[in-house]
Structure 1
Amino acid sequence: MGNSLDIAIAGAGPAGLATALYLERAGHRVTIFERFDQPKPVGSGLILQPTGLTVLADLGLLEDILALGCRIDRLHGADAKTGRTVLDVRYDARRGGRFGLAVHRAALFGVLFRAARRQAVHIETGIELETLEIGERATLICGNGRRMGSFDLVVDASGSRSKLRRCVNNPGEPRSLAYGAFWASLGWRGEGFDEHALLQRYDSASVMIGVLPIGRPEPDAQKMAAFFWSLKPADAEYVWGAGLEAWKARLVGLWPECAAFIDQIDSFEQLSLARYGHHTMKTPAGRLLAVIGDAAHSTSPQLGQGANMALLDAAALNYALMGTDGVDTALEAYVRTRRWHVRVFQALSLVLTPFYQSDSIVMPFVRDRLVATLAKVPPAPQFLASMVTGTVINPFKPIGLAEALWPDRLGG
């Protein structure tokens, strides 16, 4: 697209910041509107897969994030009572030198935010957006009635609780999932743990405990781990009422080695309660409005694709705007190029989550015996690796990217 556009972005999370970097670089005039008084990260840790890392490489930020994160080569899960391995996914099951990079959310936010500052992206804070008024151009309407704009395009990167997506036909709303999780960011205690693996312990499908090494939130900070324990949000009151020591005793009883992490928790205030929902917009765009990231597709973090999908959305929207004439045509191209990748991974997440987070007795039995056995037989290891890396179907070519080259990265 030859013309420079006035573009508003709702939300200064990874999706919004990555989009702003792309669009500023393409010559558009971009303003980010953030509801917090100071942009900040939310949450503990995540794994950047080759999909998300390729987008960061395209933005010139790969070395910055590699310096902070922790290379992940496998995902391993075991039954808490028997020690039997029931999940073992290895990135090297497929050729190419791929790996994941576990990071603190503050690290990813910091890399993107500092890049936005260097690029002089304009950010307005303390703005609670309520809706849009669409004519020849788009005007943002705040909760207090204040009007912002007008703009040639609005990008909704405001997350799973987005209000702006209601301006699209049939936007839908997230369906609450039964299970969420307690999360905490703790100091890394490596004895007995693989620093290059996400390790999990299961008790049926009702309890999942995980330890993920996530590197450093900032260059001079200590190494950290994301610690999580799945539970129904409705049961949190019971856990709080029973007391911290009872909760810690239960966890150590299931996974004694995690005591080095549990001992760092002195109060429930150190734990964040995450609630999850599942939602996939059929058409994540409307008149002068593109919806990206969790606002367009949210799900359980079981497959660890959320931030990666958001980064791919940002790259796809930029590519669509570069490759077409007119905003309407660009939005159609954005929707088309992301449709199948999003739908496939949303479906995989919806199918697989109950095997790890549910009240089912049958599903974990099948998981631990049948699925765990079949997962060792080719081509299952290769398929699992593709599923974790986000490459079951190629997400790169439709959005004009070539996958980054992975050998010799972080010792690969």
Structure 2
Amino acid sequence: MRPIDIAVAGCGPCGLAAALLLARDGHHVTIFERFDVAQPVGSGLMLQPTGLAVLDRLGLGAAARASGAVIERLVGRAGADGPVVLDVRYAAMRRAVTGIGIHRARLFDLLYRAARNDGIVIETGRHVVGTTLAAGGRRRVDFADGFSAGPFDLVVDTLGARSVLAPPTGRELAYGALWASLDWVDGAGFDGAALEQRYRAARQMTGVMPIGTAPDSAAPQAAFFWSLRADLFDRWQREGLAAWAADVRALWPICDALLDQIVDPGQLTFARYMHRTLSNPAAPGLIHLGDAWHSTSPQLGQGANMALLDAWALAQGVRSSGSVGEALAWTVHLRQSHIRLYQQLSYWLTPVYQSDGDLLPMLRDRLVAPVSKIAPMPFLLAHLVSGLVGAPLGRLELG
């Protein structure tokens, strides 16, 4: 395809990765970002072999590994010292792969600096509210101030699960989570190479994951989270930090070392989740990527990784097609089966770990844990968590 003009709505990891890949293929790319200063939102995330494969192609994989924390295992217990009910080890795949816990700000910084170094235009303070179809299937990008830009041959929507560019679909999930990035505390009892979780049935869950360093600090940090039903968030605010901290300590006493760092509710961000998948993520001159296409609960930790795969698939589609319409159809073809598989798996697993019922967590604690130790379950679970079920890397020529 000849070089084309592309607008990317949103300056998160998905938008930055798509912009980098497309610009390096010779296309003219402009990113539009709503905030006056582009910045990440959230605490930490886990990069899986899938997302790392894309970062490697961008030349950023080594830096992500160096600044993040190696995650060898996901482990969860019923209560502070109760039975292990989740134990997933990457070593079960008998391959030299692990997860990487990384601060969102660090991942953003790596991609943002690369985009700046490549000369990609990033226009901030541009609140995208819609697009207008123009002649020849091109699109203009419309902003909240009444102005517009373009037309562009292609608009890439990476505005997230509540994107104004995507048709409404799906549903809000009952449970969200409080997140914070805190200093890692040596000697507190946390595993420095694991994502650890503690559960009380499926109504309460807390977790800790090492995430390496933030861009402005050499001190290692941890992502700390607490599951919370969304309709109880106002009550949580009214009751105050002391009451909440007592609940956390009752479930997992060693969290004291982290809770001591939280002195203001503003240190915690409440994240809401949606389960949604667009049946058709492409339209003339427009494609939705990442959470704008598909979003779900974070139980399998695939969000950023799936978004990076989407960005790579779009670049592949544009490289191998003679028109924008062809490229978008090929992008959807490359990603659809993998997305459907993980969306369905997440849909089934969410109530096992975040719900008000007692039966599913009881079955989880009494049946799932023992069965997960029997071959080939350790192998299959590791593949599931790593994002490799469905062989997405081979399909995308990333393997």
TM-score, length of structure 2 as denominator length: 0.97
Tell me the alpha carbon deviations over residues 64-93 of structure 1, each in whole angstroms, 9 at most, x when there is no partner. Answer: 111210000000000116511000000011
Return the match for 2:173 from 177, 183, 192: 177
Within a 5 Å distance, the mapping from 1:96-135 to structure 2 comes to 96-135=95-134
Return the match for 1:193 from 190, 193, 216: 190
Between 338-347 and 187-196, report the one with greater CA deviation: 187-196
Q: Which residue of 2 aligns with 1:147?
A: 148
Q: Which amino acid aligns with 2:169?
A: E
What is the Cα deviation at residue 121 of structure 1? 0.5
Between 240-249 and 47-56, report the one with greater CA deviation: 240-249
What is the Cα deviation at residue 378 of structure 1? 1.0
Question: Does the 8 A contact of 2:80 with 2:253 survive in 1?
Answer: no
Q: Which residue of 2 aligns with 1:355?
A: 352
Within a 5 Å distance, the mapping from 1:292-307 to structure 2 comes to 292-307=289-304
Question: Does the 8 A contact of 2:212 with 2:220 survive in 1?
Answer: yes
What is the Cα deviation at residue 144 of structure 1? 2.6
C-alpha distance in structure 1 between counterparts of 2:23 and 2:231, whole Å? 43
Q: Does 2:22 correspond to 1:23? A: yes
Question: Does the 8 A contact of 1:319 with 1:400 survive in 2?
Answer: no
Q: Which residue of 1 aligns with 2:285?
A: 288
Q: Which residue of 2 aligns with 1:259?
A: 256
Within a 5 Å distance, the mapping from 1:369-380 to structure 2 comes to 369-380=366-377
- How many positions carry a matched residue from both structures? 396
Question: Does the 8 A contact of 1:61 with 1:111 survive in 2?
Answer: yes
Change (3 A) 1:316 1:217: same
C-alpha distance in structure 1 between counterparts of 2:81 and 2:59, whole Å? 46
Q: Which residue of 2 aligns with 1:272?
A: 269
Question: Does the 8 A contact of 2:139 with 2:152 survive in 1?
Answer: yes
Tell me the alpha carbon deviations over residues 80-125 of structure 1, each in whole angstroms, 9 at most, x when there is no partner. Answer: 1651100000001112111000000001000000000110100111
Q: Which runs of 4+ in 1 moved over 4 A?
A: none
SS of 2:299's equivalent in the other structure is helix
Tell me the alpha carbon deviations over residues 32-62 of structure 1, each in whole angstroms, 9 at most, x when there is no partner. Answer: 0001111100000000000000000011111
Q: Which amino acid aligns with 2:128?
A: L
What is the Cα deviation at residue 217 of structure 1? 1.1
Change (3 A) 1:130 1:338: same
Question: Does the 8 A contact of 2:160 with 2:291 survive in 1?
Answer: yes
Q: Identity over aligned residues, as a percent?
A: 50
Return the match for 2:326 from 325, 329, 337: 329
What is the Cα deviation at residue 372 of structure 1? 0.8
C-alpha distance in structure 2 between counterparts of 1:127 and 1:304, whole Å? 30
What is the Cα deviation at residue 165 of structure 1? 1.8
Instruction: Give structure 2 stretches of 5+ with no counterpart.
Output: none
Question: Does the 8 A contact of 1:200 with 1:209 survive in 2?
Answer: yes
Q: Which residue of 2 aligns with 1:249?
A: 246
TM-score, length of structure 1 as denominator length: 0.94
Q: Which residue of 1 aligns with 2:63?
A: 64
C-alpha distance in structure 2 between counterparts of 1:340 and 1:367, whole Å? 27
Instruction: Give structure 1 stretches of 5+ with no counterpart.
Output: 167-171, 403-412
Question: Does the 8 A contact of 1:160 with 1:174 survive in 2?
Answer: no
What is the Cα deviation at residue 220 of structure 1? 4.0
Q: Which amino acid aligns with 2:142?
A: I
C-alpha distance in structure 2 between counterparts of 1:273 and 1:220, whole Å? 24
Tell me the alpha carbon deviations over residues 177-224 of structure 1, each in whole angstroms, 9 at most, x when there is no partner. Answer: 000011111000132111000000000000000001100012743110
Q: Which residue of 2 aligns with 1:169?
A: none
Return the match for 2:225 from 202, 213, 228: 228
Q: Does 2:156 correspond to 1:159? A: no
Change (3 A) 1:190 1:173: farther
Change (3 A) 1:219 1:236: closer
C-alpha distance in structure 2 between counterparts of 1:225 and 1:81, whole Å? 18
C-alpha distance in structure 2 between counterparts of 1:115 and 1:25, whole Å? 11
Between 135-144 and 306-315, report the one with greater CA deviation: 135-144
SS of 2:195's equivalent in the other structure is strand
C-alpha distance in structure 1 between counterparts of 2:397 and 2:166, whole Å? 26
Q: Which residue of 2 aligns with 1:385?
A: 382
C-alpha distance in structure 2 between counterparts of 1:6 and 1:244, whole Å? 50
What is the Cα deviation at residue 143 of structure 1? 2.1
Q: Which amino acid aligns with 2:231?
A: A
Q: Which residue of 2 aligns with 1:407?
A: none
Change (3 A) 1:125 1:81: closer
Q: Does 2:395 correspond to 1:395? A: no
Q: Which residue of 2 aligns with 1:212?
A: 209
C-alpha distance in structure 2 between counterparts of 1:123 and 1:100, whole Å? 30
Question: Does the 8 A contact of 1:81 with 1:203 survive in 2?
Answer: no
Question: Does the 8 A contact of 1:320 with 1:399 survive in 2?
Answer: no
Q: Which amino acid aligns with 2:120?
A: V
Question: Does the 8 A contact of 1:174 with 1:298 survive in 2?
Answer: no
What is the Cα deviation at residue 397 of structure 1? 2.2
